[in-house]
Amino acid sequence: MEATPEPGERLPDALDRIEAAVTAGQADLQALGFWRAVAVIKRDPVLIEAHADQVGRIDGAAFRSNLRPLFAVWLGNAVLLLGVAFGAFALILAHLMPSATYTEPSPQFVVGVACLVAGLVWSVAVHCPAHWVFGRIVGIRFTAYSFGGPFPPRPGLKTDYATYLRTPPGRRAWFHASGAIATKSAPFLALLLAPWALIPWWSVLGLLGLGVLQIATDVLFSVKTSDWKKFRREMAVARAVAAG
């Protein structure tokens, strides 16, 4: 008999019950026992093959039932890549400043602001595209962009959960890590690419501080609630699958 998310309930029956409840308008997947069922499915390739499509339907329907605004994947990627391009433009401007002929504001001030802007913008703009690129490489597909999280709201990229389940757990883990790594690397990359002959000390400290702050928040919070929590969860699944 298949393992079950509820005592005495077969997995196919549980998924049918959950899908019917979501179709009827109940979108609290945790309360319905959906994630317990998914945890069982993840550890068995046979169950993944049998139930991935239904799990994907349930997850997608529950996500869409939330009244958040949704945006096409191509549109979200385009807007965020414009942000990446804007950060690159800021750094190009910083490198062009030594040849500027005006003195107010000073070239050094403009360089400092431009480098800080690049680090800040990249920290936001590279996160989801990094997930998208790595996800596409390992076989994960995506359905929409949305905004969520604590204030200020951040862009989020919704996975097609059926393709997510069919991706090996180790690759799922690094998919989650990819966005976090890209975000934390952004201010250090901006600093590395800055014109060192003109960048002021306060801009260097600002970029270093931003990078260290983001790493600290990952250590304190993300391992419990966000990307690194999911990374650890999927690595645990990978170990369980490897152990048989």
Give the pLDDT band (50/70/90) at residue 1: very low
Do 34 and 80 have their domain in common? no
List pLDDT tens digits, range 106-148. 888 999 999 999 999 999 999 999 999 999 999 999 999 998 7
- Buried b / exposed e across 16-43, counting CB within 10 Å, b at 16+? ebbbebbeeeebebeebbbebbbebbbb
pLDDT at 152: 60
Q: Is residue 214 part of a domain?
A: yes
Give the pLDDT band (50/70/90) at residue 223: confident
What pTM was computed for the model? 0.88
Asked whether the predicted pLDDT for residue 55 surpasses 50, the reply is yes
Q: In angstroms, rounded to a whole number, what is the distance separating the alpha carbons of residues 178 and 240?
A: 22
Looking at the DSSP assignment, which residues form a beta bridge with residue 147?
A: 155
Average pLDDT of the chain to the nearest whole number:
90
| Range name among 158-167, 219-228, 231-240 with the lowest pLDDT average | 219-228
Do 36 and 110 have their domain in common? no
Range of the structural domain that residue 33 is part of: 11-65
Q: How far is CA 210 from the centre of its chain?
A: 19
Give the pLDDT band (50/70/90) at residue 27: confident
Q: Which of 65, 80, 109 is the last residue of a domain?
A: 65
Share of the chain above pLDDT 90, in %: 75
Domain count, the chain: 2
